[in-house]
Amino acid sequence: MRPQDRVVLLGGTLIEREQVEGYWESPLTLAVDFPVSFRNLGWSGDTVWCESRGMFDPPAAGYARMLEQIQQINPTLILLGYGNSEAFDGPEKLDAFREQYRKLLADLAGPKRRFVLLSPTYMEASSVPGIDRQSTAAHAQRYNANIDLYAAVIQELARDGAASWIDLRPAFSASAGSTPLTDNGITLNAQGYWVTGRYLSLALAGRQLSIEQLPPPPITTVSGREPGENASVREQLRSVIRDKNELLFHRWRPQNFTYLFGFRKHEQGNNAVEIPQFDPIVTELESKIQSMKPQ
């Protein structure tokens, strides 16, 4: 990352749920001694075709809206997290995935804009719901084989496009047999974001923070005393980051989108004028985030 970077996080569930946890953004914020801003545009279940973003419209409309949002934010750095949903399609759709991801990167390109491509994450067999553990293990093994195929394509695209590449899969090998990283085998839980956040801070900030920020949830130390002052400050910072992310979510993806901007805007579209009122509140919280960083 560089001073004054405007970072957009773009992708599916992996990206969207990070705005609720904040275990990526908080260490990245703390790892640099200059101001950086973050905008999370993740959408659950999304693909490189923007199939989830279409809502009541075709995917192409969601794709166009996403590009318009990128143009408005004008990021200097875009971090993309795709592949988990697409991997369910198996090897048969690998070439189509490659071509569409390449098109997405071309459409997102801008003057001096940089890209970071994340690998998709593995399925954690032990966390997959089900009684038949042998069956779920076999299912996870097949899915993870697909993940490796899709990750290889993403790494290839990063290399061809002079983008950065961050492989999150080793986090699952390092944590095997310990605390689960997912809620259901695929969706990262707080621990999963905390662990993978350390990979991101090392790759994007050039250093990895020491484990002073205790793993989630905040716990009492072995001695029975409360965590130290730094841990408390970091947790307060993460709380403000989460508040900022919630406001941003309502800014770009309001719950009543259909009435404000969609096919029913003729009924209540006049209320869309209120949406930009989120902006000064977000700006205020971002200033607070910067002021909370240890000097």
pLDDT of 173: 81
Listed range (10-14, 262-266, 284-288) with the worst mean pLDDT: 262-266
Q: What share of the chain is helix, strand, coil (3-state, %, to 5)?
A: 55, 10, 35
Task: Give percent of the chain with pLDDT exceeding 90.
Answer: 58
> d(Cα 34, Cα 29) in Å, to the nearest integer?
9
Give the model's pLDDT for residue 126. 84
Confidence (pLDDT) at 104: 98
The pLDDT, as a whole number, for residue 233 is 78
Residue 10: partners with Cβ closer than 8 Å, 6 or more residues away? 41, 42, 66, 70, 78, 79, 80, 81, 108
| CA neighbor of 62 nearest in space, from 262, 275, 269 | 262
Residue 77 binned pLDDT confidence (cut-offs 50, 70, 90) = very high
Mean pLDDT across the stretch 125-140?
A: 81
Reduced to 3 states (helix: H, G, I; strand: E, B; else coil), residue 114 is strand
CATH 3.40.50.1110 fits 6-215, yes or no: yes
Q: Which residue is listed with tokens 């009924």? A: 267
Residues 187-244 pLDDT 10s: 999 999 999 998 898 888 875 554 444 455 544 444 444 545 556 778 899 999 999 9
Of the given ranges (55-64, 117-126, 157-166), which has the lowest mean pLDDT? 55-64
Query: Tokens 């560089």, residue?
Result: 2
Residues 17-33: tens digit of each pLDDT: 999 999 999 999 998 88
238: number of Cβ within 10 Å: 22
CB 218 within 8 A of CB 47: no
Q: Of 167, 65, 184, 54, nearest to 119 (Cα)?
A: 167
Task: Specify the pTM.
Answer: 0.87
First CA to last CA distance, the chain: 19
More confident residue, 139 or 104: 104
Tokens in use for 107? 């459409």
Please give the pLDDT value at position 219: 44
Contacts of 273 (CB under 8 A, 6+ apart): none
> In the block, which residue shows the tokens 């004008």?
74
CA atoms within 13 A on the CB side of 115: 26
Residue position matching structure tokens 């999370």: 40
